[in-house]
Amino acid sequence: MLGTRHQNQSRNADGDSDVDEFSAPLLIDNDPDSRIQHGSIRVCTSRFWFNYRHIANTLAIYRTVKRLGIPDSNIILMLADDMACNPRNKHPGAVFSHPNHEVDIYGDNVEVDYRGYEVTVENFIRLITGRVMPDTPRSKRLLTDDKSNILFYLTGHGGEDFLKFQDAEEINSYDIADAFSQMWEKKRYNEIMFMIDTCQANSMFSKFKSPNILSIGSSRVGESSYSYFHDADLGLTVIDRFTYVNLKYFEDIDMQSRSSFSDLYSTYDTKIIKSNPGYDTRHFKRRFDQTLLTDFLGAVAKAEITEKSYPLQRNITRDTSKTGSNTAKVRCGTASVGNAIMYILYHICLLALILLYLCATCFFFNNGV
């Protein structure tokens, strides 16, 4: 089912002052097969204090993926403004996503990779397609390959087929679709989960043409996405409805969770969200109800438990004729046997030298006597 394409009532997002449109992209790269790469990128594109909720959305997702095991080194966080140390923030060094102020989602341990004026459309596209300047440090690069699963989370102000960056420029749905095509050609991902919380969000993934992309958006074309909690202490709204509903579900999952995307989607209550979220699996091979959330949100290493211990040396030569994957292991095994033989030979030589020395000493000593 394609839950996303409703082009009939297209409307521009001009009247966005009262509605919630802020965008922050988040990318999580998780590689369940090779267990080498896990990563995530989250970007907030909204500047200005009244867009506090967009930063809060992004940071809340950041906390979730960190809790589910993705390390900071594999997360790229883009925040267009500084809310925690903003002079207008009554609680310096803290960002809250709930008016009860129980959890500081900014916290003591946070690493923002692109911030302030660095959050631009150009930098975003350069980042995901890998066309960065040669001096760019590792923390500002998306170091993924064709085994990596990536989660994009974007939130900000937007409209049909565009998302605003910094209130100064836009990225449109064709740009993102082209960038993803480029990523696929460059073998920069295995699967992408694209999640976006903005007005008319579902238009943003309608132009995708590359394989293995699963998309979820907060509202149909023609609909606005709205904010949720108002915090009287801070004087603003602190989170968006769609992100809030997602986070509420994410709070209950852990790294071992078997929850699938259809489990998540079934919790979307349009009465709370006040818009119609949609998803797009046209380009996704796996079934929506069999794709685990932790495939994108968490760094879950799959360990296979075998009944018997794996023979390392003696049976190696016999295995040589078997399948390709075994061949690799056999080669490694042979190499280590070779190393061991060299090692033993080396020590035998050393031992022989020492014995020779001892014998020689005895000989001279005896002669001397």
What is the contact surface with other proteins in residues (CB under 8 A)?
47-48, 80, 82, 84-85, 91-94, 104, 106-113, 115-118, 133, 135-140, 166-168, 350-351, 354-355, 358
Please report how close the Cβ of residue 346 comes to other proteins at its closest, in angstroms.
11
Q: Taking a C-beta distance cutoff of 8 angstroms, is the pair 275, 242 a contact?
A: yes
Pick 82 or 319: Cβ nearer other proteins: 82
Exposed, middle or buried: residue 88 (CB in 10 Å: 0-12, 13-18, 19+)? Answer: exposed
CA–CA–CA angle 127, 297, 155 (5° rounding): 55
Helices (H) and strands (E) in the chain, counts: 9, 13
Pick 117 or 174: Cβ nearer other proteins: 117
Active site residue 347: no
Please report how close the Cβ of residue 122 comes to other proteins at its closest, in angstroms.
11
Q: Of 157, 283, 347, 362, which residue is the catalytic one? A: 157
Pick 18 or 135: Cβ nearer other proteins: 135
Helix ranges (DSSP H) in the chain: 52-67, 121-129, 173-185, 241-250, 261-266, 270-273, 294-297, 316-319, 324-368
Q: Of 85, 199, 359, 362, which residue is the catalytic one? A: 199
Please report how close the Cβ of residue 6 comes to other proteins at its closest, in angstroms.
32
Amino acid residing at 185: E
3-state helix, strand, coil in the chain (%, to 5): 35, 15, 45
Active site residue 157: yes
State both tokens at 265.
């989607």
Alpha carbon dihedral 271, 272, 276, 281, in 10-degree steps, equals -120
Q: Within the chain, what is the greatest distance between any pair of CA atoms? A: 112
Please report how close the Cβ of residue 110 comes to other proteins at its closest, in angstroms.
5
Pick 132 or 337: Cβ nearer other proteins: 132
Q: Name the β-bridge partners of 240.
A: 227
Please report how close the Cβ of residue 77 comes to other proteins at its closest, in angstroms.
9
CA–CA–CA angle 131, 132, 135 (5° rounding): 145
Pick 104 or 319: Cβ nearer other proteins: 104
Q: Annotated catalytic sites, by residue?
A: 157, 199
